[in-house]
Amino acid sequence: MTVAPATVPAVEGFFDAATHTVTYLVADPATGAAAVIDPVLDFDPASGRTSTASLERVLARIAVRGLTLERVLETHAHADHLTGADEIRARTGAPIGIGARITEVQKVFGVLFEAHDVTADGVVFDSLYADGARFTLGALPVEVMHTPGHTPACVSYHIGDAVFTGDTLFMPDYGTARCDFPGGDARTLYRSIQRILALPPGTRIFVGHDYLPEGRSGFRWETTVAAQASDNVHIGGGRTEDAFVALREARDGTLTVPSLILPSLQINIRAGALPPAEASGKRFLKLPLNAI
């Protein structure tokens, strides 16, 4: 099947080796309109220092290519890296969009961190997308797919012939997202993935992270619906829902807590803004003891 050029976004992935995160620059070749998906704010937990090195790479490419940044899109509130969304918004004015159920995540973690400046209404984001929300990126059609399971707020962005799945799906030889975070559920994840696999077989899938499974030496982040349906080690080959749930829950029982979960979530429920300054002018992250 020939895909019309008007529905084929130009996609560049920027891999962050420290967190295994892929940030995407997605552009409409016809108009130069662009979006950044899941940007990374660099963070050194040993020193407590943030930096914008990863963001600078993406912003430099936007400038070199003469693109117009229209949106910053988040697939969910990440537990493994700090988002650079607020920094990009401050520099460019590009609004931040995220799934509408981010309010549930804000409620849980706002209480955990006693983050009194965080209201569980999503107002720190500019757009809260419901399932099926549609907009355009230049001439490219965009549909927001609610794909919960990893978290209740996860969304995937179906842009032209491509879909950006965040943590919902990884490369076929690595599998799927963990489901043991608050509001996560393996059965829900299975059903979300079936929606993605119902897209045309040639649809390009861009995953949110890549880790090196045994037998592979290079990082990858692009695959297809057909490859996932046949080869994904957790859900491919027609694995049943019950079999997937058993496999996923058993695997989740062996996983450790992500090393950046506490710094990440208290930043990410703020859309990437740092916590309010204290009277001294310093800003602090909280580490609640024995709470998770």
* Whole-structure pTM value: 0.96
End-to-end CA distance of the chain: 49
How many helices (H) and strands (E) the chain has is answered by 7, 15
Nearest to 142 by CA among 52, 26, 226, 54: 26
Which domains can be identified in the chain, with CATH numbers? 5-268 (3.60.15.10)
Nearest to 147 by CA among 122, 161, 129, 127: 129
DSSP 161: T
Asked whether the beta carbons of 69 and 101 are under 8 A apart, the reply is no
* Distance in angstroms (rounded) separating the CA atoms of residues 44 and 196: 35
Nearest to 185 by CA among 207, 209, 153: 153
In terms of phi and psi (left: phi > 0; alpha: psi -120 to 50; beta: otherwise), the region of 166 is left
Taking only the tens place, the pLDDT of each residue in 141-181 is 999 999 999 999 999 999 999 999 999 999 999 999 999 99
Taking only the tens place, the pLDDT of each residue in 233-268 is 999 999 999 999 999 999 999 999 999 999 999 999
Taking only the tens place, the pLDDT of each residue in 137-152 is 999 999 999 999 999 9
